[in-house]
Structure 1
Amino acid sequence: MWSDYWLFLLKALTVTVVIIVIIGAIARNARSGQSDGQKGRLVVRKLNERFHRQADAIRHQVFDKKALKAHQKEEKARKKADKDKTSDRVWVLTFKGDIQASQVSALREEITALLAVAKAGEEVVLVLESPGGAVSGYGLAASQLMRLRDAGLTLTVCVDKVAASGGYMMACIADRIMAAPFAIVGSIGVLAQVPNVHNLLKKHDVDVEVLTAGKHKAPLTLMGEKTEAGRQKFVDDLEAIHRRFKGLVGRYRPQLELDKVTEGDFWLAEDALELQLIDEIGTSDDYLQKQVNDKELVGVTWKPQRHLNMKVRTAASAATDGFINRLSQRILP
């Protein structure tokens, strides 16, 4: 019975590995289609009108005719006055990150377009939501935000739910970080997991050879034998990434006591404020709404052309993120 069970388990593992390889191939093809000059369109919206329309929808339901007419008269005068003055402009971007930071391709297009027209001193608001993920993807996303600051723009990051690990790697670039009271912030650390089935395969007389050139190539693998030297090399690599991560955070937020906040812990926003991981408590909605009457809010979004492989990749990513979210909901209150 146990022999049949382990044989079934090995078959299931083999099928799982094959599926992962197929999904990985699709993802690589999708990424290759998201290179510079990818097909898509830039969507630019004036957000002020959206806020005004929402308010007007309520006024039409609750105001009497006299009050509504008076408001419409005031609104007409305001619009006429707005034409005679140059409003300060606020550019609004959104980044909802997954494990692979796949939205970084759209972020690159948005920032490149924005830098062609934005003036030094104008503000960019990034509404950020991300639990972190791949180092290379989030490192590139943080580098895109550096372009904004290097161009003399003021960057404000608003966190309504979570900016952890790679998400905080992006957030720390900002001139100012705002977070909702129960948003999760921090997790300045590095994590890697490598499942290993070598002992299981060995027990059933399945021999797997892992061939490498270079003693530090793939120190830990799925099917190869684990060694203490390989494990230590893997840990050393993680420590090296962690040092760079801490260096980045320290460069853009020099007010932090790095030893207190860079051990992988996360905090709710009010605690993060005390540690100076963020600068202000508040939601993105409140921050933008306060500026509707005084500034021109412009939303910029890149919409890539979605091919079949991109749709499959997005579906796979959504399924993975959904599983992780459900798992985290069992752990976090």
Structure 2
Amino acid sequence: MEFLTEYGLFLAKVITFVIAAVVIVSIIISATHKERSDDEDDGELQVFKLNEKYRKLRESVQAKLMTDQERKNWTKAKKKEHKAEKKAGKAKKEEAGAVKEAPGRIYVLDFDGDIKASDVDPLRRAISAVLSVAEPGKDEVVIRLESGGGLVHSYGLAAAQLDRIRSKGIHLTACVDKVAASGGYMMACVADRIIASPFAVLGSIGVVAQLPNFHRLLKKHNVDFEVLTAGEHKRTMTVFGENTDKGRQKFLEDLDDTHGLFKDYVSERRPDLNIAAVATGDIWFGKRALEVNLIDEIKTSDEYIIEACDRADVVSVSFQRKRTLPEKLGLATSTALEHTVWKVLSAFRNQKIQ
């Protein structure tokens, strides 16, 4: 027992030391990160051809379906084919006279939005990179968009980033596989063409605000809460103070004004849309959204991009920000926690089934 006690104390000291070291290192790295200027490069632009990705995927499946001898013959034939293609391409470039104009490129961007539209900064950088090389009237940008909406000003900025593409005369296509609602649809409507999967959620052209109020609880316990403002409408609704009918009316007027701006924004970019019929805050699934002209075509992003690979070079462009050590530790912790929760829920479900 004495040995176990000493061992337990030793183990506790080691764990305490490790935790303290991790905390100290995290604080140091976090402080260093905060000292970086905004102009300092804290990430990298990643660019790769999707044509090559899908070609390798197709050839991998083909190879798995062959016998060893068939695979050897097929590999030799492919090498000869690639060599002949390179030689033919080089010969065409060396030909005198006008060379046939190359087809336009298709640039694929991704946006996965949360309530704060946190992905807007990587999107902004990726768009800036694409606009520096894309040719108006020739190239195309495809945005794979997933978002249920969020803060008005955050998604207003995200939509404005997509407006930059159209203002340069570059065709913009929005692909929605799961959801583009509220602020997500504000972004999608910027596109020249919106494509969605059969059961993607679209619409929710409305504005919502909700907050709890603890005034009666505080009053019950004789706790005063004062809100001091300069300006009649500086604070219309509060969480702890007493809300008045006048304040509520002003708050509703602000919501209506924001809704009006939202409707005007969508109407300008999709003039054929009956905005009065769809700006009710309702949502539509893919096929129903097509019927009310919220989208232009039913198709998954995979279908669209694979088809695009047959007619042009398709390039994925993304900006990957470097994560700090605290962020990496937080991500690892949340991933482990999520995995544990799902494992427990799955075990419970299996037990119920049995």
- Considering the TM-score relative to the shorter chain, is it more than 0.5? yes
The 1:124/1:81 distance shift into structure 2, 3 A limit, reads: farther
What amino acid sits opposite 1:106 in the alignment?
P
Q: What SS does structure 1 have at the residue aligned with 2:118? A: coil
Partner of 1:9: none
Q: Residue 120 of structure 2 is aligned with which of 81, 104, 107?
A: 104
Q: What SS does structure 1 have at the residue aligned with 2:114? A: coil
Partner of 2:135: 119
Residues in 1 aligned to 2:155 and 2:267: alpha-carbon distance in whole angstroms: 17
Residues in 2 aligned to 1:178 and 1:32: alpha-carbon distance in whole angstroms: 43
Partner of 2:57: 54
Q: Which moved more, 1:68-77 or 1:114-123?
A: 68-77
Partner of 2:158: 141
Residue 111 (structure 2) pairs with residue 95 (structure 1): yes
Q: Are the equivalent residues in 2 in contact too, given 1:198–1:222 (CA < 8 A)?
A: yes
The 1:251/1:37 distance shift into structure 2, 3 A limit, reads: farther
What amino acid sits opposite 1:59 in the alignment?
Q
Please tell me whether Structure 1 or Structure 2 has the larger radius of gyration of its CA atoms.
Answer: 2
What amino acid sits opposite 1:45 in the alignment?
F
> Equivalent pairs: percent with the same residue?
51
Partner of 2:319: 302
Residues in 1 aligned to 2:165 and 2:308: alpha-carbon distance in whole angstroms: 21
Residue 197 (structure 2) pairs with residue 180 (structure 1): yes
- Report the CA distance between 1:76 and its aligned residue: 4.7
- Report the CA distance between 1:217 and its aligned residue: 1.1
In the alignment, structure 2 segments of 5+ residues that lack a partner are: 1-32, 93-99, 336-354
In the alignment, structure 1 segments of 5+ residues that lack a partner are: 1-29, 319-333
- Report the CA distance between 1:113 and its aligned residue: 1.3
The 1:102/1:288 distance shift into structure 2, 3 A limit, reads: same
Q: What SS does structure 2 have at the residue aligned with 1:209? A: coil
Residue 169 (structure 2) pairs with residue 152 (structure 1): yes
- Report the CA distance between 1:88 and its aligned residue: 2.2
Partner of 2:8: none
Aligned 1:37-48 pairs, distance under 5 A: 39-48=42-51
Q: Are the equivalent residues in 2 in contact too, given 1:34–1:105 (CA < 8 A)?
A: no
Residues in 2 aligned to 1:186 and 1:301: alpha-carbon distance in whole angstroms: 26
Offset from partner CA, 1:262-295 (integer Å, 9 cap, x none): 0101000101101111000000000010121321
Residues in 2 aligned to 1:276 and 1:163: alpha-carbon distance in whole angstroms: 14
Residues in 2 aligned to 1:95 and 1:294: alpha-carbon distance in whole angstroms: 24
Offset from partner CA, 1:57-83 (integer Å, 9 cap, x none): 111110333455555544554455556
Residue 206 (structure 2) pairs with residue 189 (structure 1): yes
The root-mean-square deviation of aligned C-alpha atoms, in Å, is: 2.6
Residues in 1 aligned to 2:318 and 2:333: alpha-carbon distance in whole angstroms: 23
Residue 230 (structure 2) pairs with residue 209 (structure 1): no
The 1:79/1:130 distance shift into structure 2, 3 A limit, reads: farther
Residues in 1 aligned to 2:115 and 2:87: alpha-carbon distance in whole angstroms: 47
Partner of 2:183: 166
Residues in 1 aligned to 2:207 and 2:38: alpha-carbon distance in whole angstroms: 27
- Report the CA distance between 1:306 and its aligned residue: 2.4
Normalising by structure 2, we get a TM-score of 0.75
Residues in 2 aligned to 1:195 and 1:309: alpha-carbon distance in whole angstroms: 32
- Report the CA distance between 1:175 and its aligned residue: 0.3
Residues in 1 aligned to 2:160 and 2:329: alpha-carbon distance in whole angstroms: 28
Residues in 2 aligned to 1:307 and 1:142: alpha-carbon distance in whole angstroms: 28
The 1:144/1:312 distance shift into structure 2, 3 A limit, reads: farther
Q: Are the equivalent residues in 2 in contact too, given 1:123–1:153 (CA < 8 A)?
A: yes
Aligned residue-pair number:
289
Aligned 1:250-261 pairs, distance under 5 A: 250-261=267-278
Q: Which moved more, 1:66-75 or 1:206-215?
A: 66-75
Aligned 1:12-91 pairs, distance under 5 A: 39-63=42-66, 64-65=70-71, 66=73, 69-70=76-77, 73-78=80-85, 80-81=87-88, 84=92, 86-91=102-107
Q: Which moved more, 1:76-85 or 1:122-131?
A: 76-85
Normalising by structure 1, we get a TM-score of 0.80
Q: What SS does structure 1 have at the residue aligned with 2:126? A: helix
The 1:80/1:213 distance shift into structure 2, 3 A limit, reads: farther
